[in-house]
Structure 1
Amino acid sequence: MTPIDPPGPARGASGGRSDETNAPTATEKKRNANNKKKKKSNSSTCVFQRFENSWMDAGGDLNDIMSQLVTSAAECEQLCCAHPKCQSYTFWMGNTCFLRATRNLPREEANSLSANKL
């Protein structure tokens, strides 16, 4: 069975555009503009105050947003930056990232790094 084109202007080989023009349609222009806006809003940067050899004790599990396996402290920091509720994180050298909903002064702890979002 042959598929039937929807009613409307005749469609050529260029997917609805005449062969004389390759200009984007109004819908494509709008979609491209929206995609550019999204890319700009996703490229936010965060500033952190980092503490070497420290553990961010954020008041227990109630302030934990999540924990996740990561490969580096930089990846942990990116997760915190991308999460709207994250205020601090601890990266344990065993490759676990803990995101916290509060900021505190960390306690001393070997093999980990903590930071507060500023």
Structure 2
Amino acid sequence: MSKKILIIDDEKVIRELLFVNLQQTGYEVSLASNGEEALDLVRWKFFDIIMLDLVMPKMYGLEFIKELKDIRYTIDNKKPAVILMTAFSANELVEEAKTLGAVTCIYKPFDVKEVLNTINNVIQCN
């Protein structure tokens, strides 16, 4: 069974770039353009990995992570691994997100190979 990845980013170009590359690699990929849309998805479907833009309209990444913590999954009470994505060097926000449960951060602009390596590392650790 392929791993399920949710990409949450307000930039359509980023969503599409990751969608194409991750799908070609064999992942099942879903997309959301903001945190509210993503919460609707995660309430009914489990994702192994959530790639989350830290700064978005409607709901910041930190708010999303806080909401995500309250969602209960029936799959061994497993939680998705959250990988942050940000174009800002806001170390305080990244550290706070990691305190809330994010596992790592990828800084934009990124190389797709870097993203794939990060995802593979996160899957191996989980």
Which TM-score applies when normalising by structure 1? 0.24
Which of structures 1 and 2 has the bigger CA Rg? 1
Normalized per residue, the structure richer in strand is: 1
Say which structure, 1 or 2, has more relative contact order (CA 8 Å, 6+ apart). Answer: 1
More helix by share: 2
